[in-house]
């Protein structure tokens, strides 16, 4: 299996995030991708290739132009106002307030974000664009006949909506790739999100569409971030009704509960008969993940790959979360090796 990777991910290197009532060193750090690419090479998974340049065109297929422009200029505006340190928002919109775009950078950060865990830094724009190019290059390889491809994206993407960022995500790499498949001629695409957290951005982007089936298996939003989306009764809207599936699970579950949820997801996915699958591959479901509360073990990731392979579809794996950094390579590559073993 080929892996798409670029060192440009290092340009996103935030200093601190607000979590557990404290400003802590960012859990989403460059070492995450370094550990994964080292494991890919160590296991001889396959060729590692650099992404092609796509620019912002594929990004603008799923994100609003004003949001894309905001991210392009946010750092410069912030530095002008505050100086050269990471930009975090101050507050958010509550019900009854009005969503009118402010003129100042602090207001814009509040308008376009949903948490204070996602610092905008000097290199954020270039790293975020590079991650979309990694995903699009992977899409192109799968479209060209590869059975499976690994887009080692960083920063991750599944929390980013059509016009907001947060949850360590700026652009929705998986959604951009899924739209890329559609634009390249695929009639139906399925996005399977196995990250511990709900893929709220992906849900929002495709919620009213019946050509992209979106499925997310995640920690119940009654207990876990992002809290305000990801419930089982969210099934899509309008033409998209029935084309979104949330499978929330409670804190503390292990493979005994996770496996059946994955089987349910794959049954729905197979019934949809997609031309391609995009997997939002988060491995923060791991038992030792520092910010998560599922109990999956190393071998469960091999099983996950095997179950996904059984659908028999061309599949693009897009890296999302996972914060047990030293074990991230083993867990991510286990999924890919499980997939290859059953392909
Ligand atoms: Zn996650």
pLDDT of 82 reads 98
How far does the centroid of ligand 1 lie from the alpha carbon of residue 83, in Å?
31
Intervals of the chain under pLDDT 70: none
**Rounded to the nearest 5°, which phi and psi values hold at 124?**
-55, -50
Residue 150 DSSP SS3 = strand
How far does the centroid of ligand 1 lie from the alpha carbon of residue 76, in Å?
29
The catalytic site residues sit at 159
How far does the centroid of ligand 1 lie from the alpha carbon of residue 85, in Å?
25
pLDDT of 272 reads 98
pLDDT of 26 reads 97
User: Using CA atoms, how far apart are residues 128 and 11, in angstroms rounded to an integer?
Assistant: 9
> What pTM was estimated for this model as a whole?
0.98
Cα–Cα–Cα angle for 311, 317, 320, nearest 5°? Answer: 130
Helix 105-112 crosses helix 65-82 at what angle (to 10 degrees)?
Answer: 140
How far does the centroid of ligand 1 lie from the alpha carbon of residue 45, in Å?
24
pLDDT of 136 reads 99
pLDDT of 14 reads 97
pLDDT of 81 reads 98
Three-state SS string over 30-76 comes to HHHHHHHHHHHHHCCCCCEECCCCCCCHHHHCCCCHHHHHHHHHHHH
pLDDT of 333 reads 98
pLDDT of 141 reads 98
Q: For 313-343, what is each residue's pLDDT tens digit?
A: 999 999 999 999 999 999 999 999 999 999 9
User: Using CA atoms, how far apart are residues 1 and 146, in angstroms rounded to an integer?
Assistant: 8
User: Using CA atoms, how far apart are residues 202 and 70, in angstroms rounded to an integer?
Assistant: 20
CA distances from 51 to 34, 65, 138 (A): 16, 23, 8
Ligand 1 is an ion; its neighbours by CB within 5 Å are 195-197, 282, 284, 321
How far does the centroid of ligand 1 lie from the alpha carbon of residue 189, in Å?
22
pLDDT of 37 reads 98
How far does the centroid of ligand 1 lie from the alpha carbon of residue 225, in Å?
9
């Amino acid at each position: 299996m080929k892996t798409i990777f670029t060192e440009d991910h290092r340009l996103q290197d935030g200093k601190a995030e607000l979590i557990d009532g404290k400003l802590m060193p960012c859990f989403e750090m460059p070492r995450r991708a370094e550990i994964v690419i080292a494991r890919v090479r160590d296991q001889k998974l396959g060729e590692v290739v650099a992404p092609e340049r796509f620019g912002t065109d594929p990004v603008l297929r799923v994100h609003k132009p004003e949001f894309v422009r905001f991210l392009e200029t946010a750092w410069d505006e912030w530095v002008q106002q505050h100086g050269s340190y990471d930009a975090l928002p101050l507050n958010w919109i509550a019900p009854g307030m009005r969503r009118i775009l402010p003129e100042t950078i602090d207001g814009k950060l509040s308008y376009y974000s949903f948490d204070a865990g996602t610092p905008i830094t000097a290199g954020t724009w270039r790293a975020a664009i590079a991650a979309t190019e990694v995903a699009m290059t992977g899409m192109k390889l799968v479209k060209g006949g590869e059975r499976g491809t690994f887009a080692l994206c960083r920063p991750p993407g599944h929390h980013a909506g059509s016009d907001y960022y947060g949850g360590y995500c700026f652009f929705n790499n998986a959604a951009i790739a899924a739209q890329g498949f559609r634009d390249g001629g695929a009639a139906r695409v399925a996005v399977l999100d196995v990250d511990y957290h709900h893929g709220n951005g992906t849900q929002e982007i495709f919620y009213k569409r019946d050509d992209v089936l979106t499925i997310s298996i995640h920690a119940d939003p009654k207990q876990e971030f992002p809290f305000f989306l990801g419930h089982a009764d969210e099934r899509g809207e309008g033409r998209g009704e029935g084309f979104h599936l949330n499978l929330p699970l409670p804190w503390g579950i292990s493979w005994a509960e996770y496996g059946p949820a994955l089987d349910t997801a794959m049954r729905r996915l197979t019934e949809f008969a997609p031309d391609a699958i995009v997997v939002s591959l988060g491995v923060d479901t791991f038992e030792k993940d520092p910010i998560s509360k599922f109990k999956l073990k190393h071998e469960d990731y091999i099983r996950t790959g095997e179950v996904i392979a059984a659908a028999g579809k061309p599949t693009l794996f897009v890296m999302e979360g996972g914060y047990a950094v030293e074990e991230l390579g083993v867990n991510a590559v286990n999924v890919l090796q499980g997939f290859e073993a059953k392909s």
